[in-house]
Amino acid sequence: MRELLALLIPVCAIGVFLDRSARWTSARAAIASLALALCLGIGFSSVVSTGLIVIGIAPTSRAFVLADVAVWVVVGALAWFTRRAAESPEPKAQSPEPRVESREWLLPAAFGVIAIVALVATIAAARAAPHGDWDAWAIWNLHARFLFRGGAGDAWRGFFSIAWSQPDYPLLLPASVARMWAYAGHESTLGPLLIAVGFGIACVTLAVTTIGGRHGWIAGVLMLGATTFLAQVPSQCADVPLACFIVATLAVTFGDILRIPNPESRIPALLAGATSAMAAWTKNEGVVFVLLMFLIAVIVAVRRRDGRQLLWSIAGAAPILIAVVGFKLALAPSSGLVEGQSLTVILTRLMDPDRHMTVLGLIAQQAMRWSAPFAFAVFPIVSLVAAWMAVRIGGVVRVMAIVLGLMLASYYVVYVTTPFDIAWHVSTSIDRLLVQLWPALVLTVVLGLQSSVPSPQSSVSSPRSPIPGLQSSVSSPRSSARRGEPWTKDC
């Protein structure tokens, strides 16, 4: 179980930092922070591991583990002592906890049962396929083996010459798995499984705790009910980790997950920068996401005429983006999707109506079957609800829906311009691409539902954004009018 220790060391160090920053004022905030610490811990430790391998410290050596432990002890200690210095004698602000009604336990209980059955399904799937799905062993765990076995010299770079194993994919997952094996002292199938399950749990937890109350439980239930998403958790591919970083970024940016009393706090921007950059360090699709989030941060900075939050976002993203850029420019070959493609060819494909019709038909067909046989058109239906809420409610729900819509649009453009056979490309990947967006889509819809339900017994405050530019814009025109507040259209 040394793999578990490897997982927990960075989580504890980042947990101390988050405790210092967010000052856990409720169980919900504490659980959300732990989930955030879990995904950030895996992410940052992968950057450290990659750095150690690049400078020539082999994961099979004791020096690797010692150096890694030393890094995390220093990070934890710095966070701890900073906390001591930053503590003020003022009492901590009490966050409004959801009011518990009679029979309020029904939804948490239902979520608990569903989560336990989902965990059983995950473990059963992992036992049946201990090396993960095809892409897991042919890409992610293969790269991890190169890093682990070839780390002593330059042999780890060998996978850059294997074109079919997507050598341009970033190293968050392979480096994390290699790090687990370094701690274990051998290549265990438990290491990648722990990472996969950790991301799955973090993903659901972040959505549930960000929303809170009964809407939070509904979000968790809805997320787990999609069997395609559930099947991807033990697959050991990078799609659930990417989904986790996307949902974490949206939760930190637009939710009140950390309940920081000071709206000018730099922490949410710092964390959002880090989580969005982690998305780019996880998979190439994450690059689109980090660019979109950066664009939003720029728009908010211009509207507020205050660039401080933007700068903190950049500061949070910088260490990881340096790793991403360094990897892309200095190590990895170019992506198979763009290699050898001229602008003329791409434009010609974009202008070809047959390609558009083919891609649209295939996407529609696959999206309708997503999570079948127990769900029909669940992804399109939830997407339509998100679009309707974006129009009706506006505010952060609209911004989140636009981000997800643009992500979908970028996937569509890649399919239309793909150099591969379109039918093969779409049919072998669209399920996983929808998995990447599913948790964020659920978060968007349920946040919208939460803010639009006019229940006087509503136990949850409407979601607020830590970004003041987006602060009051989540409310619907009607609910704002009821409270006598102006309906701002900041977004």
Partner 1 sequence: MSYTLFAVRFLLARTAAVIVVVWALVSVIAASRNATMRGTDPVAAFETEFRTLSHALPPSGPVGFLRYEADDDRADRVMTYYVAQYTLAPHVVEKRTDLEFVIVAPDAVRPGVDDRLAGFMPIATSKEGYSVYQRRAP
Q: Can residue 224 be called a binding residue for partner 1 (CB under 8 A)?
A: yes
CB of 113 to partner 1, least distance (A): 7
What is the secondary structure of 309-324 as a DSSP string? HHHHHHHHHHHHHHHH
Cα–Cα distance measured from residue 218 to residue 249, given in angstroms and rounded to the nearest whole number: 20
Identity of residue 278: M
CB 226 to partner 1: min, Å: 7
Residue 164 binding partner 1, by CB under 8 A: yes
Q: Which is nearer to partner 1, 40 or 136 (CB)?
A: 136
Residues 91, 312, 20: CA angle, nearest 5 degrees? 30
- Each residue 168-207 as x (binds partner 1 by CB under 8 A) or -, in order, gives ----------------------------------------
- Supply 153's token pair: 């010299």
Rg, the chain, Cα only: 22
Tell whether residue 340 is a contact of partner 1 (CB under 8 A): no
The mark string for 138-157 relative to partner 1 (x by CB under 8 A, - otherwise) is x--xx--xx--xx--x-xx-
Closest CA to 452 of 398, 380, 489, 491: 398
For partner 1, the binding residue among 129, 311, 387, 408 (CB under 8 A) is 129
Q: Which is nearer to partner 1, 64 or 312 (CB)?
A: 64
| DSSP codes of every residue in 405-437 | HHHHHHHHHHHHH-SS-HHHHHHHHHHHHHHHH
Q: Dihedral (C-alpha) 59, 194, 171, 438: value to the nearest 10 degrees?
A: 180
The number of helices, as runs of H, and strands, as runs of E, in the chain is: 20, 0
- Tell whether residue 326 is a contact of partner 1 (CB under 8 A): no
Instruction: Return d(Cα 240, Cα 286) in angstroms, integer.
Output: 12
Q: Per rule CB under 8 A, is residue 241 in the interface with partner 1?
A: no
Q: Which residue's CB is nearer to partner 1, number 85 or number 374?
A: 374
Applying CB under 8 A, among 60, 122, 450, 465 the residue interacting with partner 1 is 122
In the bound state with partner 1, the residue whose beta carbon lies nearer, of 152 and 311, is 152
User: Could you say whether residue 369 binds partner 1 (CB under 8 A)?
Assistant: no
Residue 170's Cβ-side half-sphere holds a number of Cα atoms within 13 Å equal to 28
Judged by beta carbon, residue 143 or residue 464, the one nearer partner 1 is 143
Judged by CB under 8 A, which of 114, 291, 406, 413 binds partner 1?
A: 114
User: How near is the Cβ of 159 to partner 1 at its closest, in Å?
Assistant: 7
Using the rule CB under 8 A, is 370 a contact of partner 1?
no
What are the angstrom distances between the C-alpha of 382 and each of 188, 364, 375? 38, 14, 12
Distance CA 454, CA 468 (A): 24
- Please report how close the Cβ of residue 119 comes to partner 1 at its closest, in angstroms: 9
Sole binder of partner 1 in the list 353, 454, 483, 484 (CB under 8 A) = 454
Chain centre to alpha carbon of residue 77: 27
The CA distance from 446 to 121, in Å, is 25
The only residue of 107, 190, 362, 413 in contact with partner 1, by rule CB under 8 A: 107
> Can you tell me which residue has the tokens 């999707």?
337
Q: In a 3-state reduction of DSSP, which class is residue 471?
A: coil
Q: Give the number of other Cβ atoms within 10 Å of residue 74's Cβ.
A: 11
Stretch that binds partner 1, among 225-233, 328-336, 344-352, 359-367 (CB under 8 A): 225-233
Where do contacts with partner 1 occur on this chain (CB under 8 A)?
107, 110, 113-114, 117-118, 120-122, 124-125, 128-131, 134, 137-138, 141-142, 145-146, 149-150, 153, 155-156, 158-159, 161-162, 164-165, 214, 218, 221-222, 224-227, 230-231, 371, 373-375, 453-455
